[in-house]
Amino acid sequence: MRLQGKCAIVTGAGSGFGQAMATTFAAEGAKVFAVDRDQQAAQKTVDNIQDKGQHAQSFCCDITDAAKVKEMVSSCISELGGLDIMVNNAGYTHASQPLDQVTEDDYDRVMNVNVKSIYLSALEVIPYFRKQGSGVILNTASTAGLRPRPGMSWYNASKGAVITLTKSMAVELASEKIRANCVCPVAANTPMLGDFIGDRSKNTEETRNAMGADIPLGRLTESQDVANAALYLVSDEAEFITGVALEIDGGRCIS
């Protein structure tokens, strides 16, 4: 059990990467606070975990709302008995389109969900981590922040910010034994893929196969790929690793 005795918050836990991380962490002994803006989706993840005799609780939260984030962290500490791992995973994207056609509302939503949410969670978890003398922050970034693609400029910018922010947090907090890393998946086989395309109905096997063909290892990222990497980064096995932006991309960034 690689996370035995640990307590973890995972945002965006109702689907995709977050669901896989929550499930994997629980299987490895963690008590998981599964957070999503969709209460039913979060509870479904929790039900699947509890059906296996593992520990998880759901929490409905708009991660762009400071008051709700504060409540999220305090509720986790109260209900699970502590907090060791903060996973800022929930994300949002605008559809692929020319940068000057993205609406201001979509721009604000991308930046608030992908970047501001990390700021808000940091305000709550860092004082707690300081007091206990340890803690791990894991952010979900993207290869979009490392190898930007046309049509995704504002999303690319948000994920570039996550990467730089992660590295900055790591160097600033290292002396207090608080680690910060991020994972950088390439396009993934998750519901969010349809949002990138701009039409969820086009998230078909044919589309996924065509997109995967452009990746050296020949497929898209699967949620479990990200969960496996996340498990290592939040575990004590990675106690000397901080400030890393780990590419989970089948070689996309080097091709």
CATH of the domain at 135: 3.40.50.720
For 212, the domain range is 190-220
CA–CA distances in Å: residue 13 to residues 39, 127, 251 = 10, 24, 26
Q: From the candidates 92, 119, 155, 232, which is the catalytic residue?
A: 155
Are the C-beta atoms of residues 215 and 250 closer than 8 Å to each other?
A: yes
Same domain, 154 and 208: no
Same domain, 104 and 35: yes
Residue 88 belongs to a domain: yes
Residue 92 annotated among the catalytic residues of the structure: no
Same domain, 85 and 29: yes
* Among the listed residues 47, 45, 55, the one whose alpha carbon sits nearest the alpha carbon of residue 12: 45
Q: What are residue 128's DSSP bridge partners?
A: none
CA 148/CA 141 separation, integer angstroms? 12
User: How sure is the predictor about 200, in pLDDT bands with cuts at 50, 70 and 90?
Assistant: low
pLDDT tens sequence across 99-117: 999 999 999 999 999 999 9
Same domain, 162 and 57: yes
Beta strand ranges found along the chain (DSSP E):
7-11, 31-36, 56-60, 85-88, 135-140, 178-185, 245-248
Same domain, 128 and 202: no
Q: Does residue 209 carry a pLDDT above 90?
A: no
User: How sure is the predictor about 6, in pLDDT bands with cuts at 50, 70 and 90?
Assistant: very high
Same domain, 95 and 208: no
Q: Which amino acid is at 145?
A: G
Question: Is pLDDT larger for residue 199 or for residue 85?
Answer: 85
Same domain, 216 and 227: no
The total of structural domains in the chain comes to 2
CA–CA distances in Å: residue 166 to residues 92, 162, 178, 222, 244 = 18, 6, 12, 23, 8
The predicted structure's pLDDT at residue 51: 98
